[in-house]
Chain A
Amino acid sequence: MSQKEGNPHHDLADQAMSLEGRSGRIHAVEFTRKALLARRRYSLRLYIYLGFFLIFLIAVGVATSMMLTMDVVEKKLRFLEIANEYMLEIRQARRFEKNFFLHGTNLNDALENVYQAKQILNDNKEELGKIIGKDSQSIILFNFIRYEVLLKRLVDLEQTKRNNPDYPQRKKEVESELSRYGQEMVSLANHLMKKEKEALSEAILRSRHIHMYSLVFLLFFLVLNAYLLGSRILGTIGRFSVHAKRIGSGDFTPIPPGRRFRDEFTDLAIEINQMIRELESREAVLIQSHKMRAIGTLTAGVAHELNNPINNITITAHMLLEDYDHLSDEERKEMVRDVVNEAGRSKAIISDLLDFARESGTQLEPLDLPELLRETIHLASNQIRLSGINIELQSRGHLPRIHGDRQQLRQAFLNLILNAVDASSKGGKIQVLLVPADEPGYVAVKMVDFGSGIPEHTLDSIFDPFFTTKTSGKGTGLGLSVSQGIVAKHGGRILASSVQGKGSTFTVTLPVTTIPADIDSGDNLPGRPA
């Protein structure tokens, strides 16, 4: 059954086409080649290149986004550094300012720090502007300058305190204002740093997310790509192995297009189709040469059978010659009639063989299986009688016709019958049963012998070419292989079953005619009688 599944898409019309001889096959191969090439090319190489290019693009994207986030983080860090320095300077300034008020120390140190801070602000003016915005920048600047101005005023006040009666009063004023602006300045810087720290940790988190998501996406893409590429390659290889099995079993239909595009596998399919053509022409030679061998076997039987009429002619002619003068006209006529009849009998004996031996091209026609089997049995009848074997043909009910090549099918059945004869011992029996097959749309021919049977371990290899159990020189081991090839070309198959010591059964299943009217309009029988 499994063989059948291999080629569900081959309808019987295909099978028919496949049988129309070598020219038909060349045509079929050429037709299939065109169909194979008619599709858009989408090569595996392109697919692989494209896949890797996409992976590269994704990697570039990931790397770029990583670099960008790194840059952001770096900038934020740099800003924090600046802000920190600035903070340090103004804190230092404020410390000196406090010391001045508490202990009356020098203010120059505070001014020094203010200059440093101012230097920092000026050096990073543009960067700061970008990060905190012009408005915030000007507020900071305003606060800072205010502070600086107040500090300078305080220094001036200190220098002129001996001749200034309002000195304590003024100092108090400046002190409170200084403390206000100083506080403002510090809290603003603090706020700025806090905000910036938040932004930094946010940027770091974002960069981590980008890492994670891009890895997940890359993984997903790789899996998808591997799946698509894998299923494309493995699916096609699977399809090809089904075809290989089918071709191996003798079905030489070219590999048809199986996808919407073509690629390197298409080139392979075209090469295999060429190979099929070669194989088929070789098989035709094999079938022909094996037929010659079968004729050789039949000739022994025919030669033996011919002895009888020739003997009758010899005896009769000699007696006619010997007694010519003593015989009546009527007796002479009777003897001549005998000679004529026996000559006719000789002719009949060899005519079947000559008909079978005649080399003929493949010719498809509707065939009546019982008749074909009767002919085949008749062809082998001398051999059968010589071996002292009885053969009986049973045809159950009215079976639909099949479509095929008479000569080739006769050869296939003849091989099976001669095998059965070889397997049977003298006085044995061979049954040829013609029945509907288990599968609808098929008929089965069962060749049953009651010989020694086939050992189980060789049952699998009996259809292999050159496998033989006969002594060397007696069999070529090609009979069953050739028969199977012929039957497979007709869309059927041969199954063997055997019980050792009880005999063997070879079952040939063939599809019944479903070919439309162009070949034989009168013989389109319905699938099967009820």
Chain B
Amino acid sequence: MAGKLELLLLDDEPIVGKRLKPALAKIGCNVEVFEDPKQALDRIHQKTFDIVVTDIRMDEIDGLEILEHVLRKSPRTKVIMITGYAMMAVAREAMEKGAYDFISKPFTPDDLRKVIAMAAQALGSPIDSETADPEEPSEPAETR
């Protein structure tokens, strides 16, 4: 396994970041979580991520704008959009603008991990989407 994937996760729902951070860490991602699109944008300008996962619909800045910023900064970054139900038009627009893929809410952590695994594959640093390595949790795990 190559070095860790640098991943930014942006969703204005706090629980999404809170729960997905450990879930993605398990498959070897170095996850930075943001709820505020502005802060996320600042961070995107500072650092180049391998993968950006962003919600499309947010109050101030929407996912499409984030997508544009990311691709302008680093065209090789894979951007995965989180869309809502009945937002196919927006999802299609995102794909046309260069998003790597999209995932519809509600999704399971495994759904997202599969998409990320494919993106990693496309980046040339494949990871295993199965959470096979419980020995490298980001948080201390209880072992029995």
Contact = CB atoms under 8 A, between A and B. Distances in A.
Contacts of A326: 134, 137, 141-143
B22 interface: yes
Nearest to A316: B19
Contacts of B22: 319, 323
Contact of A319 (B57, B84, B109, B144): B109
Interface string B20-45: 10110000000000000000000000
Interface in B46-69: 57, 59, 62
B2 interface: no
A312 B107 CA distance: 9
A245 interface: no
Contacts of A469: none
A318 B109 contact: yes
Interface residues of A, number: 26
Given A316-B15, A322-B23, A326-B137, A311 B142 contact: no
Interface in B68-119: 84-87, 105-110
Contacts of A316: 15, 19
Interface in A272-309: 300, 303-304, 307-308
Contacts of B137: 326
A322 B105 contact: no
Contacts of B20: 315
Given A303-B85, A303-B86, A322-B23, A310 B106 contact: yes
Most buried by A among B13, B59, B62, B137: B13
Contacts of B106: 307, 310-311, 313-315
Contacts of A308: 13, 105
A386 B57 contact: yes
Contacts of B134: 326
A312 B13 contact: yes
Interface residues of B, number: 27
A247 to B, nearest CB: 41
Is chain A's binding surface mostly helix, strand, loop or mixed? helix
A315 B15 contact: yes
Given A322-B109, A325-B142, A315 B85 contact: no
Is chain B's binding surface mostly helix, strand, loop or mixed? loop
B131 interface: yes
A503 to B, nearest CB: 23
Given A315-B108, A322-B23, A322-B131, A300 B86 contact: yes
A328 interface: yes
Interface in A201-243: none
Interface string B112-144: 000000000000000000010010010001111
Contact of B19 (A319, A325, A328, A386): A319
A184 interface: no
Given A303-B86, A304-B84, A310-B106, A325 B15 contact: no
Nearest to A326: B141
A385 B85 CA distance: 15
Contacts of A303: 85-86
Contacts of B131: 322
A30 interface: no
A338 interface: yes
Nearest to B139: A326
A311 B16 contact: yes
A327 B16 contact: no
A338 B15 contact: yes
23 contacts: A300-B86, A303-B85, A307-B84, A310-B106, A311-B13, A311-B16, A311-B105, A312-B13, A312-B15, A312-B19, A314-B106, A314-B107, A315-B15, A315-B106, A316-B15, A322-B23, A322-B109, A323-B22, A323-B141, A326-B137, A328-B142, A385-B59, A386-B57
Interface of B: 13, 15-16, 19-20, 22-23, 57, 59, 62, 84-87, 105-110, 131, 134, 137, 141-144
The 10 closest A-B CB pairs, nearest first, are: A326-B141, A311-B106, A307-B105, A312-B15, A311-B105, A314-B106, A310-B106, A315-B19, A304-B84, A307-B84
Interface of A: 300, 303-304, 307-308, 310-316, 318-319, 322-323, 325-328, 335, 338, 342, 385-386, 388
